[in-house]
Amino acid sequence: MSMKKNVLFFLFNILSLVVAAQDPWKISADKIDPGKYFGITAGNGIIGIVSSPQPFKVKNVVLAGTYDTYGRGRVSNFLNGFNLLNMYLEIDGKRLDDQNTSNMQQELDMQHAAFTTKLTYGKKANIKYTYYALRHLPFTVLMDVTITANEDFKLTAASVMETPDALRDVENYYNEIDRPHVTLSLLTSTAKSPTGKLQLCASNSFLFNEQHGSEPKIIHEMWDNNSHLMKFSKVIKAGESYRYSVIGSTISSAQHAIRLTKPSA
């Protein structure tokens, strides 16, 4: 009887350690197979962000209530909205992608409604980015990015606004709001749904931790009618961690009547 109690006590301790090591709120994956990847959605009931197996990208962004007739079947389908959380990173002029990065891990934190991706770039840098569909701002998404340097290097980071092919009459804008306490660089796109029934708009901006006046200089680039970007560069020293965020909002005329006014030059 004593032996059975000892065995049960030992098994109970082992089980307790296993349960303690696994957070029941988090779903993690450290072997990402693009061929068997279906994506996880982080959403708030209005906006949903679908994950991608490709680093620094999200698969698509969907907005509740935005339907239009297109594609097969002549039925009303969910529209993919503007992809306002795609980005790219360059270290010493080298663009990071799935071929030159490693140790990619993804994690969905259901308690904090956050989706995190971690990866490494050789011996130079560890990168982590987390995005959220904000609960208190239902049309708004936020992505926090942290780059930890193991060596000195020059970082170039870009936020890319992409318009799905199904949308038409695309117009892209870039504008800066300069106030005594803050300067905001706004990357904005507008478009119509396939039948023209709906108007869709999106805008995003960088958020920096530096004091006003010492933030990195923003450069705007127009690639083609379906994508444009804003980017900045920063020298990071070994041992430093540099943090910035991208915040963006999107809405359509299905939720609110939209009156478009072109930004002033």
Cβ(227)–Cβ(263) under 8 Å? no
Whether residue 263 is predicted with pLDDT greater than 70 in this model: the reply is no
Residue 189 lies in a domain: yes
**DSSP type of residue 30:** S
What is the C-alpha separation between 100 and 197, in angstroms, rounded? 43
Strand partners of residue 150: none
Average pLDDT over every residue of 63-87? 84
Residue 103 lies in a domain: yes
pLDDT for res 258: 59
Q: Which domain range does residue 184 map to? A: 25-252
Residue 146 lies in a domain: yes
| CATH number of 54's domain | 2.70.98.40
What is the C-alpha separation between 229 and 156, in angstroms, rounded? 12
Whether residue 25 is predicted with pLDDT greater than 80 in this model: the reply is yes
Residue 201 lies in a domain: yes
Whether residue 163 is predicted with pLDDT greater than 50 in this model: the reply is yes
> Taking the model in full, what pTM does it have?
0.85
Residue 127 lies in a domain: yes
**C-alpha angle 26-31-34 in degrees, rounded to nearest 5:** 105
pLDDT for res 259: 59
CA distances from 92 to 210, 215, 239 (A): 22, 20, 17
Sign of CA dihedral 52, 54, 58, 59: negative
For residue 146, give the H/E element and its range.
strand 140-149
Residue 13 lies in a domain: no
Count of structural domains, the chain: 1
Residue 16 lies in a domain: no
Residue 8 lies in a domain: no
